[in-house]
Amino acid sequence: MKITDQVWQFAEPIVKAHGCTLWDVEYVREGGEWYLRLYLDKDGGVDINDCEAISRAVDPILDEKDPIPESYHFEVCSAGLERVLKRPGDFEKFMGHDVRVKLYQPKAGSKECCGRLVGYDDGRVTVESAGEMVTFEQKEVAQVRLSVEF
């Protein structure tokens, strides 16, 4: 079982008990250091107190279960307004919202497409951009993120 899946299993009940939703678990290497991050969501927004309380509750369980053999940094943060959509439920929840689709290779001269999310089917993402429906196959898409204009 992947580290992120293991952490999700024991962290999710704790996150829920604190009135939040676990949006994502990420284990990545950045600048030579490993980071384990929990991304939270909550109606009305996640604040620093939520992050601190959940960090304090999950940290001893990480020590006890020890799912990661190497040294790492543990962070708890908000999923953010421009969060990455990964799972089918993420796409369902934000259907009709503005998104930014980043591609591995340019399509029609661009590696990015912005528009309204209008479809998601087994990894295929459809957006309405400049009045046209554009569908991207799963293998073309590097990332889909909510897009918020200020």
Distance of alpha carbon 5 from alpha carbon 49, whole angstroms: 25
Distance CA 99, CA 117 (A): 6
CA angle 14, 17, 144 (to 5 degrees): 70
**pLDDT tens digits for 101-129?**
999 999 888 999 999 999 999 999 999 99
**Would you say residue 1 has pLDDT above 90?**
no
Tell me the domain boundaries of the chain: 3-78, 84-146
Average pLDDT over residues 84-98: 94
Residue with tokens 């196959």: 137
* CA–CA separation, 86 and 123 (whole Å): 9
Kind and range of the H or E run holding 124: strand 124-129
**pLDDT in the model for residue 107:** 87
Class of domain 3-78 as given by CATH:
alpha beta
Nearest to 33 by CA among 74, 62, 61, 66: 74
Rounded to whole angstroms, the Cα distance separating 55 from 14 reads 10
Q: Over the stretch 12-61, which tens digit does the pLDDT of each residue have?
A: 999 999 999 999 999 999 999 999 999 999 999 999 999 999 999 999 99
pLDDT beyond 80 at 150: no
CATH classification of 84-146 is 3.30.470.20, yes or no? Answer: no
Give me the mean pLDDT over the 53-80 stretch: 94
Domains 3-78 and 84-146 share a fold: no
